[in-house]
């Protein structure tokens, strides 16, 4: 039996009532912008706001250090401002990675809920028969 994902989704949708179908469609894959916005609504929203502010400050610090790096003439100052720019941009990158990991986690949880829902619908059908 070689069924496509769309065929399986169609079979599931046909077996659902209106409320179940709305819930099932709510678990569809979200766009990147919706996933990013979803970070600010979950249980970790305080940490996400905090890390966003820290990331913004790191980017500003990185650009400031970069400006100073290209405007100073002393080699020891070049090293200091270059190191500051490097660490600020690396820190900003780590914060961005954490945000993407949270988005990935939320996507996996949404898919697990879809599977739980499909199992519940299937088991309900089996107990009726």
pLDDT tens-digit series, residues 90-110: 999 999 999 999 999 988 988
30 within 8 A of 38, measured Cβ to Cβ: yes
Contacts of 32 (CB under 8 A, 6+ apart): none
Residue that wins the pLDDT comparison between 77 and 12: 77
Prediction pTM value:
0.70
According to the model, what pLDDT value does residue 26 have?
A: 66
Task: At 28, give phi and psi (nearest 5°).
Answer: -65, 165
Kindly list the distances between the CA atom of residue 36 and the CA atoms of 1, 19, 52, 93, 108, in Å, as whole numbers in the listed order. 38, 27, 11, 16, 14
Kindly list the distances between the CA atom of residue 101 and the CA atoms of 3, 50, 73, 81, 96, in Å, as whole numbers in the listed order. 32, 16, 41, 30, 9
Per residue in 109-126, pLDDT tens?
A: 888 887 887 788 778 777
Per residue in 10-57, pLDDT tens?
A: 666 666 667 766 766 666 677 878 888 888 988 889 999 999 999 999
71 within 8 A of 77, measured Cβ to Cβ: no
If pLDDT is split at 50, 70 and 90, which confidence band does 59 have? very high
């Amino acid at each position: 039996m070689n069924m496509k994902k769309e065929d399986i989704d169609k079979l599931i949708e046909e077996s659902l009532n209106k409320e179940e179908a709305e819930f099932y469609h709510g678990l569809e894959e979200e766009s990147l912008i919706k996933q990013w916005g979803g970070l600010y609504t979950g249980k970790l929203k305080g940490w996400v706001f905090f890390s966003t502010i820290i990331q913004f400050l790191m980017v500003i610090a990185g650009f400031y250090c970069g400006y100073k790096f290209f405007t100073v003439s002393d080699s020891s100052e070049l090293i200091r401002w270059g190191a500051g720019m490097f660490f600020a941009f690396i820190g900003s990158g780590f914060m961005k990675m954490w945000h993407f990991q949270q988005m990935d986690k939320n996507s996996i949880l949404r898919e697990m809920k879809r599977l739980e829902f499909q199992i519940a619908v299937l088991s309900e059908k089996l107990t009726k028969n």
